[in-house]
């Protein structure tokens, strides 16, 4: 498996795309995305565990992640698709987030997209550093899954 770490901002489709690969089954990566206990340990781009994390993992269910540092407002959203272990789609911050997990030779390729409704919305996200912060958060996720595989 090739180690993939790639981020692109596509101004024609108003989309930010992130790719990562894991030496882990996609079920493990899916669980890291959906289990509040695990999310707490990797979500904040600063590396500090979340102060609170709630997940109602179902179509129409909500999530709320609250940072301990209060450097950002709580991240909240609503799931529109939950297909274990392959796909999560959710609405958050006025955009649509998609997490796609593909099995690849005993490993997992993850593609995360944030699709904004307009060029202005995308530019606001870029100005706020959503692309950079999400990069750090996904790096935390990769490290979390690797640690969990070594321990568990």
46 has pLDDT over 50: yes
114 has pLDDT over 90: yes
Cα separation values, 139 from 6, 116, 123, Å? 11, 22, 23
Is the pTM higher than 0.85? The answer reads yes
C-alpha radius of gyration, the chain, whole number: 15
C-alpha to C-alpha distance for 103 and 8, rounded to whole angstroms: 22
Residues 97-124, mean pLDDT to the nearest whole number: 96
pLDDT of residue 1: 43
b/e sequence 17-46, b meaning 16+ C-beta within 10 Å: bbbbbbebbbebbbbbbbebebbbbbbbbe
| pLDDT per residue as tens digits for the range 52-62 | 999 999 999 99
28 has pLDDT over 80: yes
Q: Which residue has the higher pLDDT, 65 or 46?
A: 65
């Amino acid at each position: 498996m090739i180690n993939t770490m790639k981020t692109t901002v596509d101004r024609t489709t108003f989309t930010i795309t992130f790719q990562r690969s894991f030496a882990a089954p996609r079920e493990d990566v899916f669980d890291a995305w959906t289990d509040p206990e695990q999310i707490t340990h990797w979500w904040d781009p600063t590396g500090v565990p979340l102060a609170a994390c709630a997940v109602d993992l179902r179509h129409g269910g909500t999530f709320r992640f609250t940072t301990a540092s209060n450097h950002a407002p709580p991240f909240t959203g609503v799931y529109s698709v939950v297909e274990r272990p392959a796909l999560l789609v959710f609405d958050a911050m006025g955009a649509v987030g998609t997490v796609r997990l593909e099995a690849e030779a005993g490993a997992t390729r993850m593609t995360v997209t944030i699709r904004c409704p307009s060029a202005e919305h995308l530019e606001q996200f870029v100005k706020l550093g959503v692309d950079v912060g999400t990069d750090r958060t996904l790096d935390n996720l990769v490290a979390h899954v690797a640690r969990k595989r070594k321990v568990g």
